[in-house]
A and B are shown apart, each in its own frame.
Chain A
Amino acid sequence: GQQVMQIPQYQHVQEGEDFTTYCNSSTTLSNIQWYKQRPGGHPVFLIQLVKSGEVKKQKRLTFQFGEAKKNSSLHITATQTTDVGTYFCAGRPGGTSYGKLTFGQGTILTVHP
C-alpha cells in the first residue's frame, strides 16, 4: 500500500530560525495536503497542493510539491512561538481527487523563545 514518510520526526529551533519538514511518498500522488496540530488539539487543514512543481505561500509558510508529485516540503521562515505543534503531510493516491488520505508520521516542532 501507499506509504508517506515524513522527516524529521522532531525539530527544536530558537525563535527566529527557519524550519523545514519533508514528505516523501512511495507512489505518485494526486494531491497533497498539510495539517497543523497544536499541542492537545486536533489537526487543522493548512493547504492543498495539486499541480506538479506547485509552490504556495501563506505569510511565513512556503509549501512545495515536487515535479514528480511524490514529495513535498513545508518551510517556515523566522519561526515564532505560535508555530509550535506537529505538522503533518497527507497524500492522496494518484488517480483520485477526493476521499481517504495517507498521513505522514508528522514533525513535532518546538520553538525556544
Chain B
Amino acid sequence: NAGVTQTPKFRVLKTGQSMTLLCAQDMNHEYMYWYRQDPGMGLRLIHYSVGEGTTAKGEVPDGYNVSRLKKQNFLLGLESAAPSQTSVYFCASSYGGLARRGTQYFGPGTRLTVL
C-alpha cells in the first residue's frame, strides 16, 4: 500500500495564480484532512471531509476550496494565490468509526511558495 500520497511535492506560484493540490489514499479511510504547517504555528486544519461528497471548514479555510468527489481523493484548491499562503501543506486521512480511534496518517507534504 502506498498510504497517503500528495502531488506535487514542490510548487512555486506567482501572486494571483491558481493551483490544485491532490491527495490520494489507498486505505479506504472515510475521513480526510488538509493542514498547513508554518514555523511556530504547528499544524492548522484548513478543510476536512467525513465522506465522499462532503466537506467542512477547519480552523483556517479562507482562500482555499476543497472537493471530495471520490472517497480516495481530496483536492485542495487555491483560486488566487497570495504570499500568505506560502507554507507546507499536509494531507491526512483516518478511519471514521470508533474502532480505530481516528489515528491520522499523513502524506509527505507539498511545499508551496507564492511570490
Q: Decide: B101 and A50 in contact? CB cutoff 8 A.
A: yes
Interface size of B as a range: 20 to 34
Interface size on A (CB < 8 Å)?
Answer: 26
Q: Decide: A100 and B103 in contact? CB cutoff 8 A.
A: no
The proximity string for A residues 69-95 relative to B, scoring 1 for CB distances below 8 Å and 0 otherwise, is: 000000000000000000010101000
A100 partner, pick from B40, B48, B108, beta carbons under 8 A: B48
B31 partner, pick from A31, A90, A99, beta carbons under 8 A: A99
Q: Decide: B107 and A103 in contact? CB cutoff 8 A.
A: no
Q: Decide: B40 and A105 in contact? CB cutoff 8 A.
A: yes
Q: Decide: B90 and A43 in contact? CB cutoff 8 A.
A: yes
Q: Report chain A residues within 8 Å CB of B45.
A: 100-102
Q: Decide: B42 and A92 in contact? CB cutoff 8 A.
A: no
A97 partner, pick from B33, B44, B98, B104, beta carbons under 8 A: B98
CB of B77 within 8 Å of the partner chain: no
Instruction: Give the most central of B48, B98, B102, B103: most A CB within 10 Å.
Output: B102
CB of B43 within 8 Å of the partner chain: yes
Measured between alpha carbons, how far is A43 from B101 in the docked complex, in Å?
17
Q: Decide: A97 and B90 in contact? CB cutoff 8 A.
A: no
Q: Decide: A42 and B102 in contact? CB cutoff 8 A.
A: no
A45 partner, pick from B43, B44, B96, B103, beta carbons under 8 A: B103
A98 partner, pick from B58, B95, B106, beta carbons under 8 A: B95
Q: Decide: A88 and B43 in contact? CB cutoff 8 A.
A: yes
B42 partner, pick from A1, A41, A103, beta carbons under 8 A: A103
**What would 25 A/B residue contacts be, using CB atoms closer than 8 Å?**
A1-B59, A9-B40, A41-B108, A42-B90, A42-B106, A42-B107, A42-B109, A43-B90, A43-B104, A44-B106, A45-B105, A50-B101, A98-B96, A98-B97, A98-B98, A99-B50, A99-B96, A100-B33, A100-B45, A101-B102, A101-B104, A103-B43, A103-B44, A105-B42, A106-B42
B-side residues, CB < 8 A to A, are 31, 33, 35, 40-45, 48, 50, 58-59, 90, 92, 94-98, 101-109
